[in-house]
C-alpha cells in the first residue's frame, strides 16, 4: 500500500551509521533530508559523479552546498559510466554506481564509516521496472522488480521509499521549500523508461487509480515465488551435482530442469541463458541417451557442452 514519506521513513530501521546515495534530484534529496532529520550525526551522503553530461559538475556543487547547509558529510566518487556497444545507458550507469559503492567500501576497509546504504527509488520507479520487465518477456526475477533490501559485498542496501509515490515526494519537498536539481535526461523520451513515465503512468492513473498498490503487490508475489524456486533449485543442484550430471538432470521434470539450470548458470558462471538457448539445451538433454551424443550450445557469453557424464559451461574468451 502506498504511504506518505514520513510514514515510510518512520518504519525504516537500517543499521547505523547510514549512507544515502544522493544525486541532488528530488527523490534522493527528500530521502537525505528525512534521514538526516531522523538520525542526526549518523548519516552521510554519497554522490556519484557520472560525467555523462555538461551539468554533472553543477550537480556536484549543488550537493556540496546542500550537505554543508544541513551538516551532513558528503563523499563524491567519480566514475566512467559510458555504455558499451549493445548496453543500455541506464544499465551502464547502474553498474558504475554499484562499482563506486564497492570501491568506497574497499578504500575504507575495516574502518568503513557506514553500515548501510539507502537508495531513493520510489513506487513509480517500481512500476516502471515491472512494466519494462513485462515488455521484455521477463520471468519471475524480472517481474519481482526491485527488492526493498539486499546485501552486497558486506553492505546492506535499502530502498525505503518503494511504497511512496513520486507525487508524494514532490509534495513533501514543496512543503519544506527544499531545493533540488533536475536531470534533463529524465525527460528524454528516447529512453523507454522515460516514455513509460510520461505516457503509460498517466494512463494507468486514469484507468486504475490504485495501480501502484496492485502492481506493487504483484511484484511482491513474484518475488516470493522466485524465492521458492531458488530454494527448489538449490535442493535439485545438490542432487544432480556441480557440474550437473546429465542422467540425474533427466530424472527431473522439464520445468525443474530449466529452473536448476538457470540457477546453476547464474550462480556458478554469472551468465543467463536466453529463452531460446535454454529451450535448445533442454531438447538436447532430453535426447542425450548414448555415450557419443555431443552437446555444445551457445549459452550467454559462452557455451554449454557435454564432457562425459556431466554438463560444463565455459567462455572461450576467458582462459
Q: What is the DSSP letter of 109?
A: G
Give tens-digit pLDDT for 108-146.
Answer: 665 667 889 999 999 999 999 999 999 999 999 999 999
Contact indicator for 281, 304 with CB cutoff of 8 Å: yes
Contact 189/196 with Cβ under 8 angstroms? no
Query: Mean pLDDT highest for which of 73-87, 101-115, 141-155, 205-219?
Result: 205-219
Q: Which residues contact 153 (CB under 8 A, 6 or more apart)?
A: 102, 105
Q: Does pLDDT of 291 surpass 80?
A: yes
Q: Is the pLDDT of residue 90 over 90?
A: no
For residues 191 and 297, the model is more confident at 297
What is the pLDDT at residue 125? Answer: 96
Which residue in this structure is represented by grid cell 534522493? 28
Non-local (6+) Cβ contacts of 195 within 8 A are: 189
CA-CA distance, 92 to 94, in Å (whole number)?
Answer: 5
Q: How confident is the model at residue 315 (pLDDT cuts 50, 70, 90)?
A: very high
CATH class of 5-210: alpha beta
Per-residue pLDDT at 52: 63
pLDDT digits over 19-58, tens only? 999 999 999 999 999 999 999 999 999 998 876 676 788 9
Average pLDDT over the chain, rounded to whole? 91
Torsion angle (degrees, nearest 10) of CA 122, 124, 129, 135: 180
Tens-place pLDDT, residues 167-184:
999 999 999 999 999 888
Q: Residue 51: helix, strand or coil by DSSP?
A: coil
Residues 64-88 have a mean pLDDT of 81
**CA–CA separation, 182 vs 25, rounded Å?**
6
Contact 15, 156 (CB under 8 A): yes
SS3 of 69-105: the string is: HHCCCEEEEECCCCCCCCCCHHHHHHHHHHHHHHHHH
> Rounded to an integer, what distance in angstroms lies between the CA atom of residue 173 and that of residue 168?
9
> How distant, in Å, are the alpha carbons of 83, 105, 159, 217 from that of 154?
27, 9, 17, 29
Rounded distance between C-alpha atoms, residue 50 and residue 272, angstroms: 27
Write out pLDDT tens, residues 5-26.
Answer: 999 999 999 999 999 999 999 9
Using the predicted structure, report yes or no on whether residue 318 has a pLDDT greater than 90: no
Using DSSP's 3-state secondary structure scheme, residue 26 falls into: helix
Q: What is the pLDDT of residues 242-263, one digit of tens each?
A: 999 999 999 999 999 999 999 9
**58 touches 66 (CB < 8 A):** no
Q: Which of these, 60, 71, 54, lies nearest to 22 by C-alpha position?
A: 60
Between CA 116 and CA 100, with CA 107 as vertex, the angle to 5 degrees is 65
Question: Which residue intervals of the chain bear CATH 3.40.50.620?
Answer: 5-210
Say if residues 116 and 15 touch (Cβ distance below 8 Å).
Answer: yes
Q: Is 118 helix (H, G, I), strand (E, B) or coil?
A: strand
Amino acid at each position: 500500500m502506498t504511504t506518505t514519506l514520513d510514514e515510510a521513513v518512520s518504519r525504516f530501521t537500517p543499521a547505523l551509521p547510514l549512507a544515502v546515495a544522493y544525486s541532488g534530484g528530488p527523490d534522493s534529496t527528500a530521502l537525505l533530508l528525512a534521514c538526516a532529520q531522523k538520525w542526526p550525526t549518523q548519516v552521510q551522503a554519497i554522490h556519484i559523479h557520472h560525467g555523462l553530461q555538461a551539468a554533472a559538475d553543477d550537480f556536484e556543487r549543488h550537493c556540496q552546498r546542500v550537505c554543508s547547509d544541513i551538516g551532513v558529510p558528503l563523499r563524491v566518487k567519480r566514475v566512467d559510466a559510458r555504455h558499451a556497444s549493445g548496453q543500455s545507458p541506464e544499465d551502464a550507469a547502474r553498474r558504475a554506481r554499484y562499482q563506486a559503492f564497492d570501491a568506497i567500501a574497499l578504500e575504507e576497509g575495516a574502518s568503513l564509516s557506514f553500515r548501510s546504504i539507502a537508495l531513493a527509488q520510489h513506487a513509480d520507479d517500481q512500476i516502471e521496472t515491472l512494466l519494462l520487465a513485462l515488455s521484455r518477456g521477463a520471468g519471475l526475477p524480472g517481474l519481482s522488480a526491485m527488492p526493498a533490501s539486499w546485501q552486497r559485498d558486506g553492505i546492506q542496501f535499502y530502498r525505503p521509499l518503494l511504497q511512496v509515490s513520486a507525487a508524494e515526494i514532490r509534495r513533501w519537498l514543496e512543503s519544506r521549500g527544499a531545493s533540488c536539481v533536475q536531470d534533463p535526461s529524465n525527460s528524454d523520451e528516447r529512453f523507454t523508461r522515460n516514455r513509460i513515465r510520461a505516457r503509460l503512468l498517466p494512463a494507468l492513473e486514469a484507468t486504475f487509480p490504485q495501480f501502484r498498490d496492485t502492481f506493487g503487490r504483484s511484484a511482491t508475489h513474484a518475488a516470493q515465488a522466485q524465492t521458492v524456486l531458488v530454494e527448489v533449485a538449490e535442493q535439485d543442484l545438490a542432487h544432480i551435482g556441480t557440474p550437473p550430471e546429465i542422467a540425474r538432470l533427466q530424472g527431473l521434470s522439464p520445468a525443474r530442469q530449466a529452473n536448476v539450470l538457470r540457477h546453476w548458470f547464474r550462480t556458478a558462471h554469472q551468465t543467463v541463458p536466453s529463452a531460446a538457448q535454454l529451450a535448445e539445451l533442454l531438447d538436447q538433454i532430453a535426447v542425450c541417451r548414448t555415450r557419443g551424443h555431443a552437446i555444445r550450445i551457445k549459452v550467454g557469453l559462452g557455451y554449454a557442452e557435454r564432457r562425459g557424464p556431466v554438463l560444463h559451461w565455459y567462455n572461450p574468451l576467458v582462459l
